[in-house]
Amino acid sequence: MIEDFPMQQIINEDGEIVDADALNDISTEKVKSFYYKMLCARMLDKKCVNLQRQGKIGTYVPYEGQEAAQIGSAVALEEGDWIFPTYRDHAATLTFGHSMRNLLLNWRGRPEGNVPPEGVNIFPPGIPIASQLLHATGAAWAEKKHGSDRVSLVYFGDGATSEGDFHEALNFGSVFNIPTIFFNQNNGYAISVPMERQMKTKTIAQKGLAYDMDCLRIDGNDVLAVFAATKASVDRARANQGPTLIEAVTWRYGAHTTADDASKYRDQNESETRRETTDPLLRVQRYLQTQNTWNEDWLKTIEEEITDEIETAIAEMEAYPEPDLRQLFDYVYDRPTWTIQEQVNQHLAVQGEE
């Protein structure tokens, strides 16, 4: 079956062009903008790991290594579309318009972290695995019922395909021809459990066949392949041609979270080797170098720019006002029930606040 799902690439690990036709549709400026976004995401991720070590944010979920999968897919969407991230997809949410400050606030345990800017349709991250896939079909179904051509894209990992909600969502998507892109990031591990223990199939893409759905497997570290495949799927969904399952094969360099030790279940040397081989940024750099549009000076300039942006966002996060008790009580219902109101009053009477 794996032969039926070759891993599609536009540029390979060495930055060489594999699919020249596909590349024709993507300008060098666009490739540079992808590189910029990936660099920004990587620098933010590294910074967040440090912030966690310093105790400035809580347990953090790193995505380093998966920048191409997340950014290539998010840039293929347009205003009015919807994304449904997991907790590891802040490179995608950042790309789709979430504010960096709010992303940081999320890791600082603040509910503002789940609130995207007005007009940007990003759901709070799905925490129970695969549960968000059904919201993605529901929201896109609503767009279709209202006669719009907006679509949804939902992120999930390899482990999520073992959950019932994955299958229920693909089935709904397929039965009702819902404009949803099921975007799988197959990074090889669900915390510690490798793909071969998660499923007997060699690909995730083939699971779409059971739902008579378009399904494809791409090199998730090739941002151009990710962008092109997602864009084509989005265009089809907009044209009412149904959902697509995309398997983007990728790798997380780090542990599952800052509370996890990946060396317990895999050889971390592989991550180090991959940094030199399959890395999503390195291959774009190599490609741009062949086009004479990448050099150390440019890198230095954009690194400074990104550092400023990150430092500003961190300062905003640190200066953010203390949480308000109303966030605990006032958003459970449209209006607090009497039991909640009594609990607020009793709490305040003892705590002596406000």
354 binds another protein (CB under 8 A): no
* Contact in structure between 32 and 26 (CB atoms under 8 Å): no
114 binds another protein (CB under 8 A): yes
Question: What is the token pair recorded at 245?
Answer: 């399952």
Q: Which of 164, 296, 297, 350 binds another protein (CB under 8 A)?
A: 164
Catalytic residue flag (residue 265) = yes
State the nearest-atom distance from the C-beta of 95 to another protein, in Å: 19
* C-alpha to C-alpha distances, 180 to 7, 72, 136, 240, nearest whole angstrom: 21, 16, 7, 10
- Helix, strand, coil tally for the chain in percent (to 5): 50, 10, 40
Q: Which of 67, 143, 158, 219 binds another protein (CB under 8 A)?
A: 143
State the nearest-atom distance from the C-beta of 342 to another protein, in Å: 9
State the nearest-atom distance from the C-beta of 312 to another protein, in Å: 23
Angle between the N-to-C axes of helices 67-74 and 280-290, in degrees from 0 to 180, rounded to the nearest 10? 70
The helix/strand/coil state of 88 is coil
State the nearest-atom distance from the C-beta of 144 to another protein, in Å: 10
- Helical segments of 146-255, H only: 164-175, 195-198, 223-238
CA 104 to chain centre: 15
Residue whose tokens read 């542990």:
255
Residue 177, judged by CB atoms within 10 A of its CB (0-12, 13-18, 19+), counts as middle
Pairing of strands 152-157, 121-122: unpaired
Name beta bridge partners: 156: 184
State the nearest-atom distance from the C-beta of 171 to another protein, in Å: 6
Q: Which of 15, 97, 111, 188 binds another protein (CB under 8 A)?
A: 111
Residue 319, judged by CB atoms within 10 A of its CB (0-12, 13-18, 19+), counts as exposed
The size of the interface with another protein (CB under 8 A), counted in residues, is: 40
105 binds another protein (CB under 8 A): no
Name the active-site residue from 98, 101, 110, 252: 252
6 binds another protein (CB under 8 A): no
Nearer Cβ to another protein, position 57 or 133? 133
The Cα–Cα gap between 325 and 18 comes to: 56
Name the active-site residue from 265, 266, 274, 286: 265
Catalytic residue flag (residue 252) = yes
333 binds another protein (CB under 8 A): yes
State the nearest-atom distance from the C-beta of 319 to another protein, in Å: 19
Q: Pattern of binders to another protein over 117-136, x per CB under 8 A?
A: ------xx--xx--x-xxxx
Give the binding site for another protein (CB under 8 A). 82, 111-112, 114-116, 123-124, 127-128, 131, 133-143, 145-146, 152, 164-165, 168-169, 171-172, 175, 327, 331-334, 337-339
